Amino acid sequence: MHSLTIGKTTLKSRLIVGSGKYKDFQTTKNAAVASGAGLITVAIRRINITDHASENLLDYFKDTDIKLLPNSAGCTTADEAIGTFRLVREATGIELVKLEVIGDTQKTLYPDVIETLKACEILAKEGFSVMVYTNDDPIMARRIESAGAAAVMPLASAIGSGQGVQNRFNVRFVKEAVSVPVIVDAGVGCASDAVIAMELGADGVLTNTAIALAHDPILMAEAMKNGVMAGRLSFLAGVMEKKPYASASSPTSGMVRT
């Protein structure tokens, strides 16, 4: 019920966490472990996992079951992202990757969906399992799936904004449009946001800033873990239909009259 398969990888948790913005690698590890996540994203251009002569994030996760998910954060073209992942695979052997190609690097950090689509198609043909960060557009999600994506990752709202799911309909539309897993990514600010995303039918949630910048990252990681599980259970249970007026919770027939 809680396991999730992406490409050739099966995860015990539907929560994925990030590694950015923490005060140090030890806190990053502690929070990731507390979250129960099976994957942690790593911005290859910003965090060291290839140079073993200096402090390396990989060393902190050797005694855990958490796998690293390289991402192309900072890349603005398909060629940059493709080159980054080729180097990562050569250095680490990792083929499950998170593709990000950013079109607006100054304000919104929204993806360049055209360059993203181009990169996805090439990487998939080269044998990568590609998880693709994109906007919450079901039409683009379908095209990304056709390009060979192993998972589609629509944004909930702007990266690092903490605004939560801003368009609930689109998350549902994306889920209905594709058959690969849908992981809500970017903008999750608290555990209730994770619950909402999962109740809408998302297969998983990725969050980084909400945990890293919490006053207590370890406690927030636990909250996110429980939020994802609660949202998944609620979705599977079948959420009741919303009504405009009150509806008595006890029967009105056969009442004792006084």
Closest alpha carbon to 216 in 22, 36, 19: 22
Phi, psi of 110 (to 5 degrees): -70, 150
**98 labelled catalytic:** yes
The answer to whether 183 and 174 have CB atoms below 8 angstroms apart is no
| Token pair of 63 as six digits | 């005694």
The span from the CA of 93 to the CA of 91, in Å, is 6
**Token pair 């629509």: residue:** 154
Cβ(63)–Cβ(38) under 8 Å?
no
Handedness of CA 186, 187, 191, 193 (dihedral sign): negative
Q: Check 98, 118, 175, 225 and give the catalytic one.
A: 98
Q: Hunting for tokens 């913005």 — which residue is that?
A: 21
Q: So which residues are the catalytic ones? A: 98
